[in-house]
Amino acid sequence: MASESNRLVGQACPRCAAALRFPIVCADCGWLKDSLDPVDFFELLGLPRKYAVVENELSQAYRALARLIHPDRFAGQSDENIARATAWSSEVNRAYEALRDPGRRADYLLDQNGGPSAAEDREVPASLLAEVMEWREAMSAFSPDDTSDERNRLRSDVALRREDLLSRIEKSAAGLKSASAVDRTELRRMLNSLRYLDNLVGDLAANPLSSSTSISHVR
């Protein structure tokens, strides 16, 4: 049974009245929420709704909830209950994947706080685009099995640039509750920039880009 500190304040199981740790399932009687209406990812995992997340607490909450709603626990029940458990399991996985990644967590909170989506604002600072173009031009000279110091330096430069950007994103995301519209737009553009750098990191970790790849292909 979950400790009182991990239970949702003021929320009780509608079947047995036990205090709930998670809003969709009761660890005491096995009640599972009928409605599949979206639940805030932080609330779903029984965590405070803030950017700073303790990784160990997040993973422990995820594992505990995943066990409670695993479809195998509902074997022998109605097909409807099994389907509901499967659907909730998918949603819990989606929440965990979003919250465990610093960039995706900031993106989720920005959306929840009324900020522009990536579809609404695709802008990236021109200075970053220029850097990306230079890096990709340098990458085009590497062979697939290149292990030169030059490639390693490029990998280090991109990683450091990403680390600096992520630090700025974390600071901005932590203050979203009181952020202005301008602040939220700036965070969106930092997150757009992060996607470019993530693509570069992935390309450098694998093989250099082919000569046919251009900046317009990065999303």
Q: What is the pLDDT of residue 206?
A: 65
Q: What is the pLDDT of residue 10?
A: 67
Q: What is the DSSP string of 115-176?
A: PPPTTT-----HHHHHHHHHHHHHHTTS-TT---HHHHHHHHHHHHHHHHHHHHHHHHHHTG
Please report which helix (H) or strand (E) contains residue 186, including its range: helix 181-205
Q: What is the pLDDT of residue 89?
A: 97
Contacts of 38 by beta carbon, 8 Å cutoff, 6+ apart:
91
- For range 76-90, the mean pLDDT: 94
Point out the least confidently predicted range of 11-15, 129-133, 149-153, 161-165. 149-153
Token pair of 103, please?
């960039």
pTM to 2 decimal places: 0.84
Q: What is the pLDDT of residue 23?
A: 95
Token pair of 40, please?
């805030």
Q: Which of 131, 127, 193 is nearest to 157 (CA)?
A: 131
* Residue of higher predicted confidence among 149 and 195: 195
Type of residue found at 111: D
Are 126 and 203 contacting, i.e. CB atoms less than 8 angstroms apart?
Answer: no
Residue 155 burial (CB < 10 Å; 0-12/13-18/19+)? middle
- Judged against a pLDDT cut of 80, whether residue 174 lies above it is answered with yes
Instruction: Quote the crossing angle between the two packed helices 149-174 and 126-139, to the nearest 10°.
Output: 150
Distance CA 205, CA 155 (A): 8
Token pair of 79, please?
């097909």
- Judged against a pLDDT cut of 60, whether residue 213 lies above it is answered with no
Q: What is the pLDDT of residue 21?
A: 93
